[in-house]
Amino acid sequence: MSLVYRAIWQDDLDSVCTTAASVFESWVNDKKHVPDAVPICGTVHTTITSGSERVDIDIHTEYASDASGPVIDAYRAQFIETRSGGQRWHTTVRTWQEAPRPNGDRTGTAWIWIDVEVVGEVDIRSLAPKAPVLTRDLLQSGENPRIGNDRILVRPEFRQGADAGEQLAEELSRFDRTTPYVVLHNSISANQNLPDNVTFGQIVQAATYAVAGIANVVSVDGAAARALTEALTESHGLWGGALRVYLKDLDPASSSDGWRHRYVTADRYLTHRNTAADIAGRTLGPVSSVRRPPTSFTIAKALLDQLSTGSATDAELLDYADAQLRAAEDENAALREHLRQADEDAQAQALDLEEALEDRLHAITQAEKFARHISYLEGQLAKLGGHDSFADRSNPTLPATAANPSTAAQFARTHLSDRLVIPDTALRDLKVLDSTVNAGSWGNLSWLAFQSLHAFATATAEGWNKGGFYEWCLNSGNPVAWKASPKKLAMNESATVRNNSKLKQCRILPVSTDVDPSGQLFMESHIKIATGGGNLAPRIYFHFDNTTCTMHVGFYGPHKHMPNTKS
């Protein structure tokens, strides 16, 4: 079982358990329309249909009290969804009320704790964890939700003006701050590139919903962003419509600390309504999972466990212990698998880095060579009357970079459509790729790959006859040629994949009916955008049609959709 979201906060409610039970019941009924009433202490099992999928629902609630103890009451509710594929989502809410302190406070501190866990066939690295609606409902039902000395914003804040920016900088650099902040710069110029059906306010709201309970979301205007940047220094600042995730322990005096606070340029998150939310969720989900409850939870848990085992027989106690042990073993197995995947991913990324360094050294050598050649040519031009004597016959310039994979695909379809065909159905889960840490580098590499495929098709139409795409990349010397290496380019799949009907079926991909009347074709040639990145590492599957000299892309998306024997 993998923990993907955790929120723990305190409040001044005087009846937190009663409030939580009521909110939980409403959330369950709104979420899945569960027909049975949810008791404050009991069990409900039902089966519902969600779309075409059968979902088993298990609900367990427990309530216990001790009027004379340091914790006067405690409540625990579990909502478990088991889907037809065996995937299980487990949402748990725990609340407890501490006894009033001797200083005369009317009520003791109220605590609320929400966990979301998942087990089964789920690729954790592709998830962008988001807060359940239950979190927002409980926050809105509270009186003063906070984490330590940090207030929890139930709604996004919109800060305007230099004074507001300076005040935000003070909040972010406070040494005892523990709550992360997601800050977005509301830039008029950057927002001009928003899709027609999306507003900046909707992006901010989606991000707020995603990180409810674990971070605060703030939008700043230009004056506030400038003041914030001036106060925190450029290494920790914000400009150009960007988004930044400010973790705790921010040190504006250390420029090397800036990398910890993730910076996302406007062109990477303004493309879709939910990209900012996905980025924030994926960044802060792992951070939230390390939060630990206060010491009073030990007493609350003992109250609830006593309720579970207080009147149990020895056999029931053994069954309870066995169930707890099995759950711990499952969690350990999941952790070991995640560790193995992380180790494989780290090794693959090390290979990517090694190749990138080799490419950089080669590029530096080539640049020096070209610089010398340009210097010589400029001298020759000067003798012939200078640059102005030659007409500029250059072609329209293509975009130099692509902010993310979605942009790379858009550029390819806009600028390269004369030789490159990419149907809508070939594009898979690009929004997921857009929200990863690697979105920038994967976007640029994908754009280079698309240009390479297009350049080969053009070269073939103009007479290239010295081999296929691999040979062209290896020998043509074209500046956009993809690296001809087995780690980066495969023209064939393994015999195991070709002979496995399930694996082969994944590679029956869309193609123009001009190529095949069925509109589908088995494609095995593919470009590997990255080795590191696990199941999210992008792949581009393609087929070249010699008759028309057109390149057809049948798939562009995460590697997980093209499983092999190692998957």
State how far the Cα of 542 lies from the Cα of 451, in Å rounded to an integer: 13
**In the prediction, which pLDDT does 548 show?**
94
Q: What is the mean pLDDT of the chain?
A: 87
Position 327 in a domain: no
Q: For tokens 């360094």, name the residue.
A: 357
Position 380 in a domain: no
* Co-location of 16 and 87 in the same domain: yes
pLDDT tens string 119-131: 876 666 667 789 9
Task: Select from 243, 273, 303 the last residue of a domain.
Answer: 273
Position 46 in a domain: yes
Please compute the mean of the pLDDT values over residues 418-445 and round it to a whole number: 92
Please list the residues that pair with 540 across neighbouring strands. Answer: 527, 556
Position 329 in a domain: no
DSSP assigned state of 561: G
**In the prediction, which pLDDT does 536 show?**
87
Contact 170, 226 (CB under 8 A): no
Total structural domains within the chain: 3
Laid out side by side, the sheet with 420-421 consists of 420-421, 550-558, 538-545, 526-528, 489-490
* Co-location of 163 and 137 in the same domain: no
Q: Output 407 or 535, whichever has higher pLDDT.
A: 407
Tokens matching residue 524: 């095995």
Tokens matching residue 462: 């103009």
549: left (phi over 0), alpha (psi -120 to 50) or beta: left
State how far the Cα of 4 lies from the Cα of 286, in Å rounded to an integer: 7
Contact 44, 36 (CB under 8 A): yes
**In the prediction, which pLDDT does 394 show?**
47
Cα within 13 Å of Cα(323), Cβ side:
8
C-alpha to C-alpha distances, 32 to 29, 61, 169, 258, nearest whole angstrom: 6, 17, 42, 43
Percent of the chain beyond pLDDT 70?
84
**In the prediction, which pLDDT does 36 show?**
66
Contact 154, 138 (CB under 8 A): no
**In the prediction, which pLDDT does 314 show?**
60
Q: Which of 79-83, 185-189, 274-278 has the lowest mean pLDDT?
A: 79-83
Count helices and strands in the chain by DSSP H and E runs = 16, 20
Tokens matching residue 534: 């696990």
Position 282 in a domain: no
* Co-location of 520 and 556 in the same domain: yes
* Co-location of 77 and 115 in the same domain: yes
Position 345 in a domain: no
213: CB partners within 8 A, 6+ apart: 7, 9, 114, 131, 135, 136, 139, 152
State how far the Cα of 567 lies from the Cα of 560, in Å rounded to an integer: 8
* Co-location of 79 and 158 in the same domain: no
Position 543 in a domain: yes
Please list the residues that pair with 508 across neighbouring strands. Answer: 522
pLDDT tens string 10-19: 999 989 999 9
pLDDT at 416 over 70: yes
Q: For tokens 């989900």, name the residue.
A: 285
Task: Label residue 368 by pLDDT band (50, 70, 90).
Answer: confident
**In the prediction, which pLDDT does 103 show?**
67
Determine which helix (DSSP H) or strand (DSSP E) holds 496, and give its type and residue range: helix 495-499
Please compute the mean of the pLDDT values over residues 381-402 and round it to a whole number: 68
pLDDT at 330 over 80: no
Q: Answer whether 0.85 is exceeded by the pTM.
A: no
* Co-location of 407 and 543 in the same domain: yes
* Co-location of 265 and 300 in the same domain: no
* Co-location of 177 and 43 in the same domain: no
State how far the Cα of 215 lies from the Cα of 547, in Å rounded to an integer: 56
Print the SS3 string covering 363-432. Answer: HHHHHHHHHHHHHHHHHHHHHCCCHHHCCCCCCCCCCCCCCCHHHHHHHHHHHCCCCEECCHHHECCHHH
* Co-location of 469 and 537 in the same domain: yes
* DSSP string for 424-476: GGGB-SHHHHHTSTTHHHHHHHHHHHHHHHHHHHHHHHTT--S-SHHHHHHHS
CATH number at residue 156: 3.40.30.10
In degrees, rounded to 5, the angle at the alpha carbon of residue 370 between the alpha carbons of residues 367 and 372 is 110
Q: Which of 35-49, 248-262, 481-495 has the lowest mean pLDDT?
A: 35-49
Task: Label residue 546 by pLDDT band (50, 70, 90).
Answer: very high
Print the SS3 string covering 183-243. Answer: EEECCHHHHCCCCCCCCHHHHHHHHHHHCCCCCEEEEECHHHHHHHHHHHCHHHCCCCCCE
* Co-location of 108 and 239 in the same domain: no
CATH number at residue 134: 3.30.530
Task: Give me the domain span that covers residue 512.
Answer: 398-561
pLDDT at 165 over 80: yes
* Co-location of 30 and 175 in the same domain: no
**In the prediction, which pLDDT does 44 show?**
87
Look at residue 10 and give its three-state secondary structure: strand
pLDDT at 326 over 80: no
* Co-location of 7 and 57 in the same domain: yes
Position 444 in a domain: yes
**In the prediction, which pLDDT does 341 show?**
61
